Chain A
Amino acid sequence: MIALNIAASLDYDIDIFDVTAAFLEAFLDRKVLVRIDHTLTQALIEQQPELRSGLLPDGSLIVQLKKALYGLRDAPSSWWKTLEGVPTELGFKSSDHDKCLFIRARPQKDSTSSSLTWMT
C-alpha cells in the first residue's frame, strides 16, 4: 500500500510480476524427508528414475526435499529467506515500516527510491 502511495506521489512507473510455484524455488535449511503415497510412486519414478532408491516395501517412497513444498511449516520463511537476499544485493534496504517493502535511494540526480513488495 505504502509502495503505491510513494509511487503515486513521485510518479513512478509500476511493474508487477508473480513468481509461479514460488515455494518450489525456496531452499530449505534443514533436512526434510517426505513420504509419497504408493499411488504416486510409479508415475514419479517414471519421470525421475533416480528416486527409486527410496522405495519402501509397501510401495511408498521416501525422498529428501531440496526445496520447500506447499504445506511445509517453514515454506513461507524459506521463500522469504531465499528472496530477501536479491534486493539486498542490489542495494535495497528493507523498510522498518514494512519488511516487505524494499527501498533504494539513488545518490546521483534526484534521489530515486524503488520498491519491491511481496506477499504469500
Chain B
Amino acid sequence: MRKKTRVNYREVLGYRKRNQKRGDEIAHLPEAGTLAIVTFVYVGRAASAELSDERREAVLKELAQMHDYDVLQPIQLSELTPEELARAVPSVMLISDKIAPDGTFLKVKARFVVKGYMEAVDDSAAPTISTNL
C-alpha cells in the first residue's frame, strides 16, 4: 500500500476527464478551503480487473466488512414474487481516493451503498443531537 505519496493535482484532474467519457464516474471537487480532503468518487466497475490494486483492495475490504457484520442474507430466487424482485434496491460501490489539499495521497476508501432514494418507502426520521444551548 502506497503511503503519503505526492500526487500531481493536474494529473488527477486529467485522469478524471479522460474517464468521464465512460459515464461511470463522478468527480467531485469541493471549493477551496471548504473541505480538508479532496475526494474523487468512482462508481461501478467495482471489483473488475480495470481497477488499480489499491482500489480493488479497498473494494474487497468493504465486501469483507459485509461478511464481518453479517449484513447480507442469501435468498432463494424461486421463493420471490416478481414484484419483490422488481422492488430490489440497486446498489453501487463508491470508491474514493482521498487526497489532502496539499496533494498528498492519503488512501482509497470504498463504501457499499444502496440507492435507497429509488425505494418507495415512507420517510423516516431519526433524532440527532441538538447543538443549541
Contacts and interface: CB of A to CB of B under 8 A. Distances in A.
Category for how many chain B residues contact A: 35 or more
Nearest to B56: A43
Nearest to A4: B133
Nearest to A118: B129
Interface of B: 44-48, 59-60, 63-67, 69-77, 80, 84-85, 87-93, 111-117, 119, 121, 123-133
Given A47-B64, A71-B114, A100 B71 contact: no
B113 A69 contact: yes
24 contacts: A1-B133, A24-B65, A24-B69, A25-B69, A33-B75, A34-B72, A35-B88, A40-B46, A40-B59, A40-B93, A50-B74, A54-B75, A63-B75, A66-B72, A71-B114, A71-B115, A72-B89, A73-B116, A73-B124, A76-B126, A80-B126, A80-B127, A100-B128, A120-B126
